[in-house]
Amino acid sequence: MAYLRGINADILEYIELADASLDAGNTEKAETRLRAALVLADEAGSRTKPAIRCMAEANLAGVLVQTGRQGEAGVVLGAIEVAPANDFLPLSILLLVAVTRSRWLLATKEYKQAIDELSPFFTSDGTPTRLLKFEIWRNVANGNLKSLGLVRRLCAAGLELLGIACFKAGHYDAGERSFRRLLKRRRGTAGQTVRLRLALAKAAKGDSAGAKTDYSAICRRGLPPKVSSAEFSLMAELAQAVGEIQAAIGWLEKSLAEAEVTAMGAAAQRIRSESFGRLGQCYLSLGQAAKAEAAFRTQEEIQRRLVPADEKEIAATLVNLAASLCKQGRFDAALTELLKVLSILYRAAGSGPRSAITAPKEMEASEHGSGDVQATADAFARVVSTIKAALPDGDETRQTVLQTCRELGYE
């Protein structure tokens, strides 16, 4: 982009400086530079190239997603104009916007929409569409190595996000195809995360033997010298899926240790929250309910500190906490935590239908007050049944409740 002059060159320089800040892990400085770029774009008005404005807006939205500010990111993404007024935008910019939107949709757990966002750029087997291939060839022919590098990075990011979205939505075969295509782009240690996700896909499809073989192969191959907290967490997820619970605890301890020494922004805190949650599940599997309780309480504390706090995630943690308390025979304490879950669901219902949700105070008045263990256990079962009835099929909190019910014998 050496041909750019004047205001557009200045905006692009801010964008490149923001990229450098992100590479250094400084999201605050990256956001400041991107907002400065957009101030320049607003001042320049029609002199600002639409492609450069879109690049600045998409990058800013990406930083907001990374720092857990999904509401702000949604506002920025909603303001990006890609059609019909700006339908002349380069395909690489449209792909950048799609990748950023899909990151946001994954963060807000809109998995099917994330798939729809990326599907126009890839075929069913994970290869780029003809238009996207043409964009790559055009950059090669013009010798535009910077744009070529951007498109290739976006293709890899898009494939990875598409694979994750497919897995989250339960489309394991489609996700596996995306990750196998991505593995051809990432060799050696760079492909380790992809191999982990492919192994997790086998576990999700019920191929425990295949997943265990892949896990053993990854362990023999060894992890790269520099491993992120998220990668340690993935190793723990795979270890747990193949029944290597002690190994999973070891990976989670490494994940938490790595998170302590890296940037403590919202993204790192979310990884810590997930790691403590998985740690609690592992301890429950080993029958160490007291340790599980401590892990779930730490997870809840982290979740409540995040801004904005995700109450549905907190509800899922409270259900796990109730399971750990029940395993210790502390049914009254477990019931208290489940009543908090009911409060969250009651607030979430707002002014809509509440037929399946009993008002928390009414539930508390009718369920509390008995010191009899059996009576409390029966009340616990009724509260769990109420929570199950209040949540739609496919809801992640409902799945956690169902798992808890199985563990405690309340089918």
What is the C-alpha separation between 136 and 144, in angstroms, rounded? 10
What is the C-alpha separation between 158 and 92, in angstroms, rounded? 12
> Where exactly are the structural domains of the chain?
330-411
What is the C-alpha separation between 310 and 322, in angstroms, rounded? 19
Residue 241 burial (CB count, 10 A): 18
Residue 259 scores a pLDDT above 90:
no
Two structure tokens written together for 375: 């009576």
Nearest residue to 180 (alpha-carbon basis) of 159, 202, 165: 159
What is the separation of C-alpha 95 from the centre of its chain, rounded to a whole number of angstroms?
A: 20
How confident is the model over 325-376, as pLDDT tens digits? Answer: 888 878 778 878 887 887 777 676 554 444 444 445 444 544 444 444 555 5
Q: What is the pLDDT of residue 315?
A: 83
What is the C-alpha separation between 238 and 195, in angstroms, rounded? 11
pLDDT band at 3 (very low <50, low <70, confident <90, very high): very low
How confident is the model over 40-78, as pLDDT tens digits? Answer: 988 888 888 888 888 899 999 999 888 878 888 999 988
How confident is the model over 178-213, as pLDDT tens digits? Answer: 888 888 766 555 577 888 888 888 888 888 899 999
Element (H, E) at 169: none
How confident is the model over 141-153, as pLDDT tens digits? Answer: 666 666 667 778 8
Nearest residue to 309 (alpha-carbon basis) of 320, 300, 318, 319: 300
In DSSP terms, which residues pair with 128 in a beta bridge? 122
What is the C-alpha separation between 101 and 80, in angstroms, rounded? 10
pLDDT band at 408 (very low <50, low <70, confident <90, very high): low
- The answer to whether the beta carbons of residues 41 and 56 sit under 8 Å apart is yes
| Residue 393 main-chain phi, psi, to 5 deg | -60, 140
Look up residue 128 and give its DSSP letter.
B
